Amino acid sequence: MTPNKSSSFRAALKQELPAWTQEGIVTEDAAQRITTLYELDKLSKESSSLLAAVIFTLGGLLLGGGVISFVAANWEAIPTFAKVVLLLVLLLAFHLGGYWLWHQKGWSRLGHALVFTGSLVFGANIGLMAQIFHVSGEWYGAFGAWALGSLVMAYAARSWITGLLALVTATTWFQGISHEHPSAWMMIVPLLFAALFLPLAWQLRSRVLYVASYAGITFMLCSFAAERYGSGKYVLITMIVGGFVAWAAGEFHRVKNLRPEFGNPTAALGILILGSSAYIWSFHWWWRDRGWASSSSDVASPTFYWAIPTLIIALIGLALVVLVIQQLNAAGERRLLIFGISVASAILILCALIGGANRGDMALLTISVNFAALIIAAVAIAIGIMDERRLAFWTGTLFTMLLILSRFLEYETSLLTKSAAFTLCGIAMIAAGIAYENHLRRKEAIV
Protein backbone atom coordinates (compact mmCIF):
# COMPACT_ATOMS: atom_id res chain seq x y z
CA MET A 1 0.00 0.00 0.00
CA THR A 2 1.19 3.51 -0.78
CA PRO A 3 1.95 5.46 2.41
CA ASN A 4 0.00 8.70 2.71
CA LYS A 5 2.78 11.28 2.86
CA SER A 6 0.69 14.43 2.85
CA SER A 7 2.16 16.93 5.28
CA SER A 8 -1.11 17.31 7.21
CA PHE A 9 -1.32 13.54 7.80
CA ARG A 10 2.34 13.34 8.80
CA ALA A 11 1.93 16.29 11.18
CA ALA A 12 -1.09 14.61 12.82
CA LEU A 13 0.81 11.32 13.04
CA LYS A 14 3.79 13.00 14.64
CA GLN A 15 1.51 14.61 17.20
CA GLU A 16 -0.30 11.36 18.09
CA LEU A 17 2.61 8.92 18.03
CA PRO A 18 4.06 9.71 21.50
CA ALA A 19 0.61 9.20 23.11
CA TRP A 20 0.12 5.87 21.27
CA THR A 21 3.52 4.68 22.45
CA GLN A 22 2.76 5.73 26.02
CA GLU A 23 -0.62 3.93 25.95
CA GLY A 24 1.07 0.80 24.59
CA ILE A 25 -0.95 0.88 21.35
CA VAL A 26 2.30 0.74 19.37
CA THR A 27 5.71 -0.46 20.54
CA GLU A 28 8.79 1.78 20.61
CA ASP A 29 10.16 -0.22 17.69
CA ALA A 30 6.97 0.20 15.65
CA ALA A 31 6.92 3.94 16.45
CA GLN A 32 10.49 4.22 15.15
CA ARG A 33 9.58 2.37 11.96
CA ILE A 34 6.57 4.66 11.42
CA THR A 35 8.82 7.68 11.99
CA THR A 36 11.25 6.42 9.34
CA LEU A 37 8.56 5.40 6.84
CA TYR A 38 6.74 8.72 7.04
CA GLU A 39 9.94 10.77 7.51
CA LEU A 40 8.43 12.39 10.60
CA ASP A 41 11.78 13.67 11.82
CA LYS A 42 12.05 15.77 8.63
CA LEU A 43 8.81 17.63 9.40
CA SER A 44 9.31 21.33 9.88
CA LYS A 45 8.76 22.99 13.22
CA GLU A 46 6.51 25.45 11.48
CA SER A 47 2.91 25.13 10.51
CA SER A 48 2.53 22.48 7.85
CA SER A 49 -0.39 24.16 6.15
CA LEU A 50 -0.14 25.13 2.52
CA LEU A 51 -1.68 28.46 3.48
CA ALA A 52 1.44 29.35 5.48
CA ALA A 53 3.64 28.61 2.46
CA VAL A 54 1.39 30.66 0.19
CA ILE A 55 1.32 33.59 2.63
CA PHE A 56 5.10 33.55 3.05
CA THR A 57 5.60 33.45 -0.73
CA LEU A 58 3.09 36.26 -1.30
CA GLY A 59 4.75 38.26 1.48
CA GLY A 60 8.13 37.74 -0.16
CA LEU A 61 6.73 38.80 -3.53
CA LEU A 62 5.18 41.96 -2.08
CA LEU A 63 8.44 42.77 -0.29
CA GLY A 64 10.42 42.31 -3.52
CA GLY A 65 7.85 44.30 -5.50
CA GLY A 66 7.93 47.08 -2.90
CA VAL A 67 11.71 47.37 -3.04
CA ILE A 68 11.77 47.27 -6.86
CA SER A 69 8.99 49.91 -7.04
CA PHE A 70 10.88 52.12 -4.58
CA VAL A 71 14.01 51.82 -6.72
CA ALA A 72 11.99 52.39 -9.91
CA ALA A 73 10.41 55.54 -8.45
CA ASN A 74 13.86 57.07 -8.01
CA TRP A 75 15.33 55.35 -11.06
CA GLU A 76 16.48 58.40 -12.99
CA ALA A 77 18.18 59.97 -9.98
CA ILE A 78 20.34 56.88 -9.40
CA PRO A 79 23.66 56.58 -11.28
CA THR A 80 24.09 53.47 -13.48
CA PHE A 81 26.69 51.82 -11.25
CA ALA A 82 24.49 52.30 -8.18
CA LYS A 83 21.52 50.77 -10.04
CA VAL A 84 23.54 47.64 -10.83
CA VAL A 85 24.76 47.38 -7.22
CA LEU A 86 21.19 47.80 -5.94
CA LEU A 87 19.88 44.99 -8.13
CA LEU A 88 22.68 42.66 -7.02
CA VAL A 89 22.21 43.51 -3.34
CA LEU A 90 18.48 42.82 -3.63
CA LEU A 91 19.15 39.43 -5.25
CA LEU A 92 21.73 38.45 -2.63
CA ALA A 93 19.53 39.63 0.24
CA PHE A 94 16.67 37.32 -0.79
CA HIS A 95 18.85 34.30 -1.47
CA LEU A 96 21.25 34.54 1.45
CA GLY A 97 18.60 35.74 3.91
CA GLY A 98 16.27 32.96 2.83
CA TYR A 99 18.95 30.28 3.08
CA TRP A 100 20.00 31.51 6.51
CA LEU A 101 16.42 31.41 7.82
CA TRP A 102 15.87 28.01 6.20
CA HIS A 103 18.98 26.19 7.34
CA GLN A 104 20.24 28.12 10.34
CA LYS A 105 17.04 29.24 12.05
CA GLY A 106 14.75 26.33 11.15
CA TRP A 107 12.20 28.58 9.38
CA SER A 108 12.11 26.31 6.39
CA ARG A 109 8.86 27.54 4.80
CA LEU A 110 9.69 31.22 5.16
CA GLY A 111 13.30 30.62 4.04
CA HIS A 112 12.15 28.52 1.09
CA ALA A 113 9.66 31.26 0.10
CA LEU A 114 12.40 33.90 0.19
CA VAL A 115 14.80 31.80 -1.89
CA PHE A 116 12.02 31.28 -4.43
CA THR A 117 11.32 35.03 -4.41
CA GLY A 118 15.05 35.50 -5.00
CA SER A 119 14.71 33.64 -8.29
CA LEU A 120 11.70 35.79 -9.23
CA VAL A 121 13.76 38.90 -8.42
CA PHE A 122 16.53 37.39 -10.58
CA GLY A 123 14.13 37.33 -13.55
CA ALA A 124 12.99 40.91 -12.94
CA ASN A 125 16.63 41.98 -12.62
CA ILE A 126 17.47 40.50 -16.04
CA GLY A 127 14.83 42.80 -17.55
CA LEU A 128 16.04 45.80 -15.55
CA MET A 129 19.69 45.19 -16.50
CA ALA A 130 18.65 45.09 -20.17
CA GLN A 131 16.80 48.38 -19.66
CA ILE A 132 19.66 50.15 -17.90
CA PHE A 133 22.08 49.36 -20.75
CA HIS A 134 19.46 49.51 -23.56
CA VAL A 135 20.23 45.93 -24.56
CA SER A 136 18.31 44.97 -27.69
CA GLY A 137 17.60 41.36 -28.43
CA GLU A 138 15.00 38.66 -28.78
CA TRP A 139 12.55 38.62 -25.85
CA TYR A 140 12.94 34.90 -25.27
CA GLY A 141 16.66 35.23 -24.54
CA ALA A 142 15.79 36.72 -21.14
CA PHE A 143 13.58 33.73 -20.39
CA GLY A 144 16.39 31.34 -21.34
CA ALA A 145 18.76 33.06 -18.92
CA TRP A 146 16.06 33.10 -16.24
CA ALA A 147 15.36 29.38 -16.75
CA LEU A 148 19.05 28.47 -16.48
CA GLY A 149 19.59 30.43 -13.25
CA SER A 150 16.37 29.12 -11.71
CA LEU A 151 17.04 25.50 -12.63
CA VAL A 152 20.50 25.48 -11.08
CA MET A 153 19.05 27.21 -8.01
CA ALA A 154 16.26 24.62 -7.79
CA TYR A 155 18.85 21.83 -7.69
CA ALA A 156 21.11 23.69 -5.26
CA ALA A 157 18.41 24.83 -2.84
CA ARG A 158 16.32 21.67 -3.30
CA SER A 159 13.31 23.86 -4.06
CA TRP A 160 10.46 22.33 -6.05
CA ILE A 161 8.70 25.65 -6.57
CA THR A 162 11.88 27.20 -8.03
CA GLY A 163 12.00 24.11 -10.26
CA LEU A 164 8.45 24.88 -11.37
CA LEU A 165 9.48 28.46 -12.15
CA ALA A 166 12.41 27.10 -14.19
CA LEU A 167 10.03 24.79 -16.07
CA VAL A 168 7.63 27.63 -16.92
CA THR A 169 10.42 29.97 -18.04
CA ALA A 170 12.14 27.18 -20.01
CA THR A 171 8.85 26.39 -21.78
CA THR A 172 8.40 30.11 -22.60
CA TRP A 173 11.97 30.29 -23.92
CA PHE A 174 11.33 27.23 -26.07
CA GLN A 175 8.15 28.75 -27.51
CA GLY A 176 10.10 31.84 -28.55
CA ILE A 177 13.22 30.21 -29.95
CA SER A 178 11.37 27.44 -31.77
CA HIS A 179 9.10 30.04 -33.37
CA GLU A 180 12.03 32.17 -34.53
CA HIS A 181 14.36 29.28 -35.42
CA PRO A 182 12.20 26.23 -36.16
CA SER A 183 15.09 23.98 -37.12
CA ALA A 184 14.51 20.25 -36.80
CA TRP A 185 17.10 19.65 -34.06
CA MET A 186 14.96 21.78 -31.74
CA MET A 187 12.83 18.67 -31.16
CA ILE A 188 15.68 17.35 -29.02
CA VAL A 189 15.36 20.24 -26.57
CA PRO A 190 12.18 18.95 -24.84
CA LEU A 191 13.94 15.61 -24.34
CA LEU A 192 16.87 17.44 -22.80
CA PHE A 193 14.43 19.21 -20.50
CA ALA A 194 12.95 15.84 -19.55
CA ALA A 195 16.45 14.72 -18.55
CA LEU A 196 16.87 17.87 -16.43
CA PHE A 197 13.46 18.31 -14.78
CA LEU A 198 12.31 14.75 -14.10
CA PRO A 199 15.40 13.82 -12.01
CA LEU A 200 14.94 17.07 -10.07
CA ALA A 201 11.32 16.21 -9.26
CA TRP A 202 12.43 12.68 -8.38
CA GLN A 203 15.14 13.94 -6.03
CA LEU A 204 12.81 16.41 -4.34
CA ARG A 205 9.90 13.92 -4.22
CA SER A 206 7.73 16.63 -5.73
CA ARG A 207 4.59 15.27 -7.34
CA VAL A 208 3.63 18.73 -8.62
CA LEU A 209 6.95 19.25 -10.39
CA TYR A 210 6.98 15.69 -11.73
CA VAL A 211 3.51 15.93 -13.24
CA ALA A 212 4.14 19.50 -14.48
CA SER A 213 7.33 18.29 -16.20
CA TYR A 214 5.41 15.65 -18.16
CA ALA A 215 2.73 18.22 -19.05
CA GLY A 216 5.32 20.86 -20.01
CA ILE A 217 7.36 18.49 -22.18
CA THR A 218 4.25 17.19 -23.98
CA PHE A 219 3.13 20.80 -24.55
CA MET A 220 6.56 21.74 -25.94
CA LEU A 221 6.62 18.77 -28.32
CA CYS A 222 3.07 19.47 -29.51
CA SER A 223 3.55 23.19 -30.04
CA PHE A 224 6.78 22.51 -31.90
CA ALA A 225 5.06 19.94 -34.11
CA ALA A 226 2.44 22.60 -34.93
CA GLU A 227 5.07 25.31 -35.46
CA ARG A 228 7.50 23.26 -37.53
CA TYR A 229 5.18 21.19 -39.64
CA GLY A 230 1.93 23.17 -39.43
CA SER A 231 0.08 19.89 -39.52
CA GLY A 232 -2.57 18.65 -37.11
CA LYS A 233 -1.67 15.00 -37.54
CA TYR A 234 1.75 15.49 -35.92
CA VAL A 235 0.17 17.43 -33.06
CA LEU A 236 -2.35 14.67 -32.46
CA ILE A 237 0.26 11.90 -32.61
CA THR A 238 2.59 13.82 -30.28
CA MET A 239 -0.25 14.42 -27.80
CA ILE A 240 -1.16 10.75 -27.81
CA VAL A 241 2.45 9.65 -27.35
CA GLY A 242 2.95 12.21 -24.54
CA GLY A 243 -0.23 11.10 -22.76
CA PHE A 244 0.63 7.42 -23.23
CA VAL A 245 4.11 7.85 -21.74
CA ALA A 246 2.77 9.83 -18.77
CA TRP A 247 0.18 7.14 -18.11
CA ALA A 248 2.74 4.31 -18.50
CA ALA A 249 5.16 6.11 -16.17
CA GLY A 250 2.41 6.52 -13.57
CA GLU A 251 1.57 2.80 -13.71
CA PHE A 252 5.29 1.99 -13.52
CA HIS A 253 5.71 4.01 -10.32
CA ARG A 254 2.65 2.42 -8.77
CA VAL A 255 3.35 -1.18 -9.71
CA LYS A 256 7.11 -1.16 -9.14
CA ASN A 257 6.70 0.76 -5.87
CA LEU A 258 9.32 3.29 -6.98
CA ARG A 259 8.29 6.72 -5.69
CA PRO A 260 4.74 5.28 -5.58
CA GLU A 261 3.34 8.69 -4.64
CA PHE A 262 4.13 9.80 -8.24
CA GLY A 263 2.00 6.99 -9.68
CA ASN A 264 -1.58 8.21 -9.44
CA PRO A 265 -1.12 11.88 -10.44
CA THR A 266 1.16 11.00 -13.39
CA ALA A 267 -1.19 8.30 -14.68
CA ALA A 268 -4.10 10.72 -14.18
CA LEU A 269 -2.30 13.33 -16.29
CA GLY A 270 -1.73 10.70 -18.99
CA ILE A 271 -5.41 9.76 -19.05
CA LEU A 272 -6.37 13.44 -19.06
CA ILE A 273 -4.14 14.13 -22.10
CA LEU A 274 -5.37 11.01 -23.92
CA GLY A 275 -9.00 11.73 -23.05
CA SER A 276 -8.90 15.37 -24.08
CA SER A 277 -7.10 14.54 -27.38
CA ALA A 278 -9.68 11.85 -28.14
CA TYR A 279 -12.53 14.22 -27.24
CA ILE A 280 -11.22 17.04 -29.45
CA TRP A 281 -10.88 14.66 -32.41
CA SER A 282 -14.16 12.86 -31.79
CA PHE A 283 -16.12 15.43 -33.84
CA HIS A 284 -16.86 14.25 -37.35
CA TRP A 285 -15.92 17.52 -39.05
CA TRP A 286 -12.24 16.97 -38.24
CA TRP A 287 -12.36 13.89 -40.45
CA ARG A 288 -14.58 15.47 -43.11
CA ASP A 289 -12.63 18.65 -43.97
CA ARG A 290 -9.07 17.58 -43.06
CA GLY A 291 -7.56 21.00 -43.70
CA TRP A 292 -5.25 20.17 -40.79
CA ALA A 293 -3.82 17.10 -42.47
CA SER A 294 -1.41 18.77 -44.88
CA SER A 295 1.84 20.38 -43.79
CA SER A 296 2.60 24.06 -44.34
CA SER A 297 3.88 24.60 -47.84
CA ASP A 298 6.93 26.56 -46.64
CA VAL A 299 8.26 23.66 -44.62
CA ALA A 300 10.32 21.49 -46.85
CA SER A 301 12.46 19.42 -44.49
CA PRO A 302 11.68 15.73 -44.10
CA THR A 303 9.38 14.69 -41.29
CA PHE A 304 11.95 12.07 -40.37
CA TYR A 305 13.54 14.48 -37.85
CA TRP A 306 10.21 15.01 -36.19
CA ALA A 307 9.74 11.27 -35.83
CA ILE A 308 12.99 10.63 -33.93
CA PRO A 309 12.22 12.22 -30.53
CA THR A 310 8.56 11.18 -30.74
CA LEU A 311 9.66 7.64 -31.52
CA ILE A 312 12.14 7.72 -28.63
CA ILE A 313 9.48 8.69 -26.10
CA ALA A 314 7.02 6.22 -27.62
CA LEU A 315 9.61 3.46 -27.14
CA ILE A 316 10.18 4.59 -23.56
CA GLY A 317 6.40 4.35 -23.02
CA LEU A 318 6.28 0.85 -24.52
CA ALA A 319 9.27 -0.28 -22.43
CA LEU A 320 7.52 0.96 -19.29
CA VAL A 321 4.35 -0.91 -20.27
CA VAL A 322 6.33 -4.15 -20.76
CA LEU A 323 7.95 -3.71 -17.35
CA VAL A 324 4.56 -3.09 -15.76
CA ILE A 325 3.01 -6.15 -17.42
CA GLN A 326 5.91 -8.35 -16.25
CA GLN A 327 5.21 -7.25 -12.69
CA LEU A 328 1.49 -8.02 -13.03
CA ASN A 329 1.58 -11.77 -13.51
CA ALA A 330 -1.49 -12.63 -11.52
CA ALA A 331 -3.54 -9.46 -11.61
CA GLY A 332 -5.66 -9.96 -14.73
CA GLU A 333 -7.92 -6.96 -14.22
CA ARG A 334 -5.04 -4.53 -14.16
CA ARG A 335 -3.65 -6.04 -17.34
CA LEU A 336 -6.97 -5.38 -19.00
CA LEU A 337 -6.67 -1.69 -18.15
CA ILE A 338 -3.18 -1.55 -19.63
CA PHE A 339 -4.42 -3.33 -22.72
CA GLY A 340 -7.32 -0.85 -22.96
CA ILE A 341 -5.14 2.27 -22.85
CA SER A 342 -2.62 0.76 -25.28
CA VAL A 343 -5.39 -0.13 -27.76
CA ALA A 344 -7.01 3.32 -27.43
CA SER A 345 -3.65 5.03 -28.04
CA ALA A 346 -2.93 2.80 -31.04
CA ILE A 347 -6.38 3.51 -32.56
CA LEU A 348 -5.88 7.27 -32.16
CA ILE A 349 -2.39 7.17 -33.73
CA LEU A 350 -3.63 5.04 -36.63
CA CYS A 351 -6.55 7.41 -37.22
CA ALA A 352 -4.15 10.39 -37.26
CA LEU A 353 -1.85 8.64 -39.73
CA ILE A 354 -4.60 7.37 -42.04
CA GLY A 355 -6.82 10.46 -41.79
CA GLY A 356 -3.79 12.74 -41.99
CA ALA A 357 -2.79 11.10 -45.27
CA ASN A 358 -6.26 12.03 -46.61
CA ARG A 359 -7.25 8.41 -46.66
CA GLY A 360 -9.88 6.42 -44.82
CA ASP A 361 -13.62 6.76 -44.57
CA MET A 362 -14.89 9.70 -42.52
CA ALA A 363 -17.52 7.67 -40.67
CA LEU A 364 -15.08 4.87 -39.83
CA LEU A 365 -12.44 7.28 -38.54
CA THR A 366 -15.01 9.19 -36.44
CA ILE A 367 -16.41 5.99 -34.97
CA SER A 368 -12.90 4.68 -34.23
CA VAL A 369 -11.88 7.83 -32.35
CA ASN A 370 -15.15 7.78 -30.37
CA PHE A 371 -14.55 4.12 -29.57
CA ALA A 372 -11.03 4.97 -28.32
CA ALA A 373 -12.47 7.81 -26.22
CA LEU A 374 -14.99 5.40 -24.67
CA ILE A 375 -12.20 2.94 -23.82
CA ILE A 376 -10.31 5.73 -22.05
CA ALA A 377 -13.47 6.67 -20.11
CA ALA A 378 -14.04 3.02 -19.21
CA VAL A 379 -10.46 2.69 -17.93
CA ALA A 380 -10.94 5.76 -15.71
CA ILE A 381 -14.18 4.28 -14.31
CA ALA A 382 -12.50 0.90 -13.75
CA ILE A 383 -9.60 2.56 -11.90
CA GLY A 384 -12.16 4.39 -9.74
CA ILE A 385 -13.77 1.08 -8.81
CA MET A 386 -10.60 -1.01 -8.40
CA ASP A 387 -8.52 1.56 -6.51
CA GLU A 388 -11.52 3.17 -4.77
CA ARG A 389 -10.70 6.57 -6.21
CA ARG A 390 -13.80 8.75 -6.50
CA LEU A 391 -12.13 11.34 -8.73
CA ALA A 392 -11.19 8.72 -11.34
CA PHE A 393 -14.67 7.20 -11.27
CA TRP A 394 -16.46 10.51 -11.66
CA THR A 395 -14.05 11.82 -14.30
CA GLY A 396 -14.65 8.66 -16.36
CA THR A 397 -18.43 8.86 -15.88
CA LEU A 398 -18.58 12.57 -16.75
CA PHE A 399 -16.36 11.98 -19.79
CA THR A 400 -18.71 9.25 -21.04
CA MET A 401 -21.72 11.54 -20.62
CA LEU A 402 -19.87 14.39 -22.33
CA LEU A 403 -19.12 12.15 -25.31
CA ILE A 404 -22.71 10.99 -25.61
CA LEU A 405 -24.20 14.47 -25.25
CA SER A 406 -21.66 15.96 -27.67
CA ARG A 407 -22.72 13.46 -30.31
CA PHE A 408 -26.38 14.33 -29.81
CA LEU A 409 -25.63 18.04 -30.08
CA GLU A 410 -23.24 17.57 -32.99
CA TYR A 411 -25.69 15.79 -35.27
CA GLU A 412 -29.07 17.06 -36.37
CA THR A 413 -31.44 15.18 -34.11
CA SER A 414 -34.99 16.09 -33.13
CA LEU A 415 -35.66 17.84 -29.85
CA LEU A 416 -37.44 14.75 -28.61
CA THR A 417 -34.37 12.58 -29.26
CA LYS A 418 -32.14 15.14 -27.54
CA SER A 419 -34.52 15.24 -24.58
CA ALA A 420 -34.44 11.44 -24.33
CA ALA A 421 -30.63 11.44 -24.50
CA PHE A 422 -30.29 14.05 -21.75
CA THR A 423 -32.80 12.26 -19.53
CA LEU A 424 -31.14 8.87 -20.00
CA CYS A 425 -27.69 10.34 -19.35
CA GLY A 426 -28.96 11.98 -16.16
CA ILE A 427 -30.56 8.74 -14.94
CA ALA A 428 -27.46 6.74 -15.88
CA MET A 429 -25.21 9.13 -13.96
CA ILE A 430 -27.36 9.02 -10.82
CA ALA A 431 -27.59 5.22 -11.03
CA ALA A 432 -23.83 4.92 -11.53
CA GLY A 433 -23.21 7.22 -8.57
CA ILE A 434 -25.52 5.24 -6.28
CA ALA A 435 -23.99 1.93 -7.40
CA TYR A 436 -20.46 3.27 -6.88
CA GLU A 437 -21.13 4.71 -3.43
CA ASN A 438 -22.77 1.40 -2.40
CA HIS A 439 -19.74 -0.44 -3.72
CA LEU A 440 -17.42 1.74 -1.62
CA ARG A 441 -19.62 1.24 1.49
CA ARG A 442 -19.59 -2.53 1.07
CA LYS A 443 -15.79 -2.48 0.75
CA GLU A 444 -15.47 -0.30 3.85
CA ALA A 445 -17.78 -2.70 5.75
CA ILE A 446 -15.56 -5.66 4.77
CA VAL A 447 -12.42 -3.81 5.95
Single out the residue of 11, 35, 55, 99 in contact with another protein (rule: CB under 8 A): 99
Question: CB of 37: closest distance to another protein in angstroms?
Answer: 24
Q: Contacting another protein (CB under 8 A), which of 12, 30, 54, 96? A: 96
Under the criterion CB under 8 A, does residue 157 sit at the interface with another protein? yes
Helices (DSSP H) in 328-389: which residue ranges?
Answer: 332-356, 362-386
Structure letter (DSSP) for residue 296: P
Selected from 134, 332, 412, 414, the binder of another protein by CB under 8 A is 134
Angstrom distance (rounded) from CA 125 to CA 132: 10
Which of 101, 153, 186, 201: binder of another protein (CB under 8 A)?
A: 153
Q: In whole angstroms, what is the distance from residue 245 CA to residue 239 CA? A: 10
DSSP label of 291 = T
Neighbours of 76 (CB within 10 A): 6
Q: Which stretch binds another protein (CB under 8 A): 1-9, 147-155, 244-252, 399-407?
A: 147-155
Of 103 and 390, which has the nearer Cβ to another protein? Answer: 103
Q: Please give the helix or strand (H or E) that residue 138 lies within, else none.
A: none
Cβ count near 2 (within 10 Å): 12
In one-letter notation, the amino acid at residue 304 is F
Of 103 and 442, nearer to another protein (C-beta) is 103
Taking the least distance from each CB to another protein, the nearer of 45 and 103 is 103
Q: How many CB atoms lie within 10 A of CB 164?
A: 21
Q: Which stretch binds another protein (CB under 8 A): 116-124, 209-217, 380-388, 402-410?
A: 116-124
Binding residues with another protein: total (CB under 8 A): 35
Q: Which is nearer to another protein, 143 or 292 (CB)?
A: 143
Among 122, 229, 247, 262, binds another protein (CB under 8 A): 122
Residues 21-80 interacting with another protein (rule: CB under 8 A): 72, 75-76
Q: Is 148 in the site for another protein (CB under 8 A)?
A: yes
Q: Segment 184-213, which members bind another protein (CB under 8 A)?
A: none
Q: Report the nearest approach of another protein to the CB of residue 69 (Å).
A: 10
Q: What is the DSSP letter of 297?
A: T
Environment class of 225 (CB within 10 Å of its CB; exposed 0-12, middle 13-18, buried 19+): buried
Q: Which residues contact 252 (CB under 8 A, 6 or more apart)?
A: 258, 263, 320, 323, 324
C-alpha span between 427 and 431 (Å, rounded): 6
Task: Please identify, using beta-carbon distances, which residue of 151 and 271 lies nearer to another protein.
Answer: 151
Give the nearest distance from C-beta 88 to another protein in angstroms: 6
CB atoms within 10 A of CB 378: 17
Q: Name the residue nearer to another protein (CB basis): 124 or 316.
A: 124
CA distance 135 to 144: 15
Using the minimum distance from each CB to another protein, give the nearer residue, 124 or 432: 124
Torsion of CA 351, 356, 359, 360, to 10 degrees: 20
Among positions 129, 198, 350, 362, the unique one binding another protein when judged by CB under 8 A: 129
- Does residue 137 belong to the site contacting another protein (CB under 8 A)? yes
> Judged by CB, which is closer to another protein: 177, or 401?
177
Question: Which residue, among 123, 1, 143, 113, has the nearest Cα to 51 in the 3D structure?
Answer: 113
Kindly state the smallest distance separating residue 130's Cβ from another protein, in Å: 6
Verify binding: residue 430, another protein, rule CB under 8 A: no
State phi, psi for 387 to the nearest 5 degrees: -95, 5
- List of residues contacting another protein (CB under 8 A): 72, 75-76, 87-88, 91-92, 95-96, 99, 103, 118-119, 122, 125-126, 129-137, 142, 145, 148-149, 152-153, 155-158
